[in-house]
Amino acid sequence: METFCSKLPKIELHAHLNGSLSRETLKKFGCADNDILEYNQAKQTTLDQVFDIFKIAHQATSTKQNLYESTVKVIEEFASDNVIYLELRTTPRKEADMTEDEYVETVIKALLDSESSDIMVKLILSIDRRHTYDQQVETLKTIIKYKKLYPDVVRGIDLSGDPTKGAFFRDIFEKARRNELFVAMHCAEIKNDAEVMEMFDFKPDRLGHATFIHPDFQGSAELWELYTKLQIPVEFCLTSNVVCLTSKSYQEHHVREWMKANMPFCLSTDDKGVFDTTLSNEFRIVQQTFSLNKEELWKISKNTLSYSFATDRDKNVLNEKLDKWKLANIKILKHPYYICL
Ligand code: 6MZ
């Protein structure tokens, strides 16, 4: 099954660029060994602590050249994990050597230079919820500017950052939507029923984490009922939640409620560098924890594609790839028994 999860063509929809840098990339850009150890947490941390860790990556990507090379490297690493479609997300920021515009241009250039027949890459630009309203408005202007310049590359907007701080400003995301950006939103990464209600009312295209929604997971019957009506696809990041202690264990991860109720979800890495994981690893964990078969794992990939922000044309190309792969790799002998090679 490990080999199957690794070979399976996968779709990654929730990956933060500066949380996805590998140890090798950090070392190359002069990070101290201690910092690399701290960044590359295979051990336990907490959600509070994790947000300081990104500063290490931000130092490494503070010049245009390093940012470019880091982005290319992250894409290469996803491609070698058999990710065939990647929506990479990052927060535009300025540095001594770089304006916010140059930051976005550098990432876009790296994306365009990295696309190959193996991997298709799109960009989601993030708004950091810790920023003030005015700062968020400024970032939105940058995001809309690049959406207009590169409509096929910049596909969506995301709200992320430390969930214990800052706020969700609905009008910012309404404006983003009017400008043809799809909206992904970190939601219920900590318990915050009032904010979840506001987000549900806005109805983002996808939710990240959705940890505290189901009543068995400190949510409420009301929230869950509303969610089951909305059925917004959720990007689950199991290792991230277990490492940050917002989920007790893989067995007790809320993904199980989505499986039971047949609600839409996908699997993602969140920050593959920080959490020392890969998308294949996330599939393997879910397979082992919930005893999924090959067909079910493939179906997760297939469903994930339909939740992506890709154009219909791109979805058709990728659907064909997934179907061909299934025909060649999952043999169906006689319904309803499957023999998987
Ligand atoms: C919320 C997260 C996150 O944007 O500089 N980020 N936001 N929850 C999480 N769960 C652990 N993991 C990462 O990548 C790093 C930034 O992504 C967001 C944070 O804002 C972090 O600073 P970029 O490429």
Q: What percent of the chain stands above pLDDT 70? A: 96
- The pLDDT tens digits for 98-144 are 999 999 999 999 999 999 999 999 999 999 999 999 999 999 999 99
Ligand 1 mean position, distance from CA 184 (Å): 13
Q: Is 189 a catalytic residue?
A: yes
Edge-to-edge strand order for the sheet containing 154-160? Answer: 10-16, 83-90, 120-128, 154-160, 182-187, 206-209, 234-236, 265-267
Please compute the mean of the pLDDT values over residues 51-73 and round it to a whole number.
95
pTM for the model stands at: 0.96
Can you name the residues that pair with 42 across neighbouring β-strands?
Answer: none
Ligand 1 mean position, distance from CA 50 (Å): 9
Q: Where are the domains of the chain?
A: 2-340
Model confidence at 253, pLDDT cuts 50, 70, 90, reads very high
Decide: 246 in ligand 1 pocket, CB within 6 A: no
pLDDT value of residue 49: 85
Decide: 91 in ligand 1 pocket, CB within 6 A: yes
Mean pLDDT score of the chain, rounded to an integer?
Answer: 95
User: Of 87, 189, 257, 282, which residue is the catalytic one?
Assistant: 189
Homologous superfamily of 2-340 in CATH? Metal-dependent hydrolases (3.20.20.140)
Going by DSSP bridges, is the β-strand pair 332-334/337-338 parallel, antiparallel, or unpaired? antiparallel
Site of tokens 């894409």: 75
- Nearest ligand 1 atom to alpha carbon 270: 12
Residue 272, token pair as written in the block: 């593959």
pLDDT value of residue 337: 56
- The pLDDT tens digits for 294-335 are 999 999 999 999 999 999 999 999 999 999 999 999 976 555
3-class state of residue 272 by DSSP: coil
- The pLDDT tens digits for 16-56 are 999 999 999 999 998 888 888 877 766 667 888 889 899 99
Decide: 19 in ligand 1 pocket, CB within 6 A: yes
Distant-in-sequence, close-in-space partners of 137: CB < 8 Å, separation ≥ 6: 172
CA pair distance 184, 189, nearest whole angstrom: 13
Ligand 1 mean position, distance from CA 148 (Å): 24
Peptide linkage before 336 cis (omega within 30 of 0): yes
